[in-house]
């Protein structure tokens, strides 16, 4: 029954255009602001403490982030509208030379991004801009099976494979060894067994080591990518210089640390530039290192 309800809601939502999703997403964000006081207070406190904002500034920025997050939740319904016309009329590539360097790269690529801006639209943009490449995205599977099946269907494309993060490593490595591209969201909290503990926005966070390990095993380029909003219905694709993991020195753990720190700092840089577009509702710093642990980068 649940799958039928989800399918009907998705079919209804897929009839919306970009302006409708923007307006209804902002309404959803305002509703979340009202009904989630704990997450609201958490976001205000974190933005004040970690970004150095005064209380009123932090509250305004947090409120804006709820509006952006509401839009992010609904933008998955627009995936089918990301087409060549979208690229021409709605997308700006912020660094054309940097993007062309990525397009020209002949080896494997681990693309990293975060819950920032229009992250749900990044997959179809990724699909269209790199048509010749074998491509994957690795996502965290929700507990709701019907929701998982729906979101996988909405995200998938003929040349874009959507993988559940559990047991994804063999398929990711096969893709990378064929000089393909695999994308990961790298700014979510993770369990201690999967984590390398690194500073993020001035506080220690559990960072998923998996993308770093897979990139190292394949000798891949780690390429940060972000799709930010520029007003209603317009977007900008941001890249920054990538990291060739073949150039890293030191022990295995030291190289994992360097690679994970690289993509964590790339996310932090974009969050500081566009804090209102990040997912502050998430309990990012939930997992913490054991008592007595201190941060000490390994020697290379």
Residue 11's pLDDT is 74
Determine, yes or no, domain membership for 204.
Answer: yes
Determine, yes or no, domain membership for 231.
Answer: yes
Residue 18's pLDDT is 92
Determine, yes or no, domain membership for 290.
Answer: no
**Statement: residue 300 has pLDDT above 60:** no
Residue 3's pLDDT is 63
Residue 8's pLDDT is 66
Condensed to tens digits (0 to 9), the pLDDT of residues 94-117 reads 999 999 999 999 999 999 999 999
Band (pLDDT 50/70/90 cuts) for residue 25 is very high
Query: Comparing 1-10, 216-225, 237-246, which segment has the lowest mean pLDDT?
Result: 1-10
Q: Are 111 and 156 in contact (CB under 8 A)?
A: no
Residue 53's pLDDT is 95
Q: What percent of the chain has pLDDT over 70?
A: 93
Residue 187 CA to its chain's centroid (Å): 7
Residue 106's pLDDT is 92
Determine, yes or no, domain membership for 285.
Answer: no
Condensed to tens digits (0 to 9), the pLDDT of residues 267-299 reads 999 999 999 999 999 999 999 998 888 887 766
**Statement: residue 167 has pLDDT above 90:** no
Residue 257's pLDDT is 95
Band (pLDDT 50/70/90 cuts) for residue 5 is low
**Statement: residue 141 has pLDDT above 90:** no
Residue 291's pLDDT is 84
Mean pLDDT over 71-80 rounds to 91
Q: Are 81 and 18 in contact (CB under 8 A)?
A: yes
Residue 297's pLDDT is 76
Q: Are 141 and 167 in contact (CB under 8 A)?
A: no
Band (pLDDT 50/70/90 cuts) for residue 143 is confident
Residue 226's pLDDT is 97
Band (pLDDT 50/70/90 cuts) for residue 75 is very high
Phi first, then psi: give them for residue 222, nearest 5 degrees: -95, 120
Residue 233's pLDDT is 84
Band (pLDDT 50/70/90 cuts) for residue 74 is very high
Condensed to tens digits (0 to 9), the pLDDT of residues 82-94 reads 999 999 999 999 9
Domain that holds residue 269: 2-277
Report H helices in the chain. 2-13, 18-35, 37-51, 55-75, 84-89, 96-104, 119-129, 145-155, 169-177, 210-218, 252-273
Determine, yes or no, domain membership for 101.
Answer: yes
How many domains, in total, are found in the chain? 1
Residue 160's pLDDT is 85
Neighbour tally for 94: CB within 10 Å: 14
Mean pLDDT over 12-25 rounds to 88
């Amino acid at each position: 029954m649940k799958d039928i309800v989800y399918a009907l809601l998705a079919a209804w939502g897929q009839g919306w255009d970009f302006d409708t999703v923007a307006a209804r997403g902002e309404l959803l964000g305002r509703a979340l602001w009202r009904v989630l006081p704990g997450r609201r207070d958490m976001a205000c406190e974190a933005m004040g403490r970690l970004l150095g904002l005064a209380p009123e500034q932090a509250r305004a920025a947090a409120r804006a982030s709820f509006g952006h997050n509401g839009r992010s939740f609904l933008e998955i319904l627009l995936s089918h509208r990301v087409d060549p016309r979208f690229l021409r009329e709605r997308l700006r590539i912020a660094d054309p030379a940097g993007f062309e360097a990525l397009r020209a790269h002949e080896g494997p690529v681990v693309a990293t991004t975060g819950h920032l801006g229009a992250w749900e639209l990044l997959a179809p943009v990724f699909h269209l801009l790199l048509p010749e490449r074998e491509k994957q995205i690795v996502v965290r599977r929700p507990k709701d099976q019907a929701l998982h099946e729906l979101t996988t269907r909405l995200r998938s494309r003929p040349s874009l494979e959507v993988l559940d993060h559990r047991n994804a490593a063999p398929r990711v490595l096969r893709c990378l060894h064929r000089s393909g591209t695999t994308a990961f969201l790298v700014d979510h909290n993770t369990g201690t067994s999967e984590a390398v503990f690194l500073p993020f926005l001035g506080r220690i966070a559990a960072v998923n080591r998996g993308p770093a390990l897979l990139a190292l095993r394949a000798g891949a380029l780690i390429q940060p990518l972000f799709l930010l909003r520029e007003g209603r219905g317009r977007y900008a694709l941001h890249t920054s210089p990538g990291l060739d993991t073949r150039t890293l020195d030191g022990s295995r753990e030291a190289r994992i640390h360097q690679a994970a720190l690289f993509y964590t700092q790339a996310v932090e840089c974009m969050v500081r530039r566009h804090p209102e577009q990040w997912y502050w509702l998430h309990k990012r710093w939930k997992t913490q290192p054991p008592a007595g642990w201190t941060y000490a980068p390994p020697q290379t």
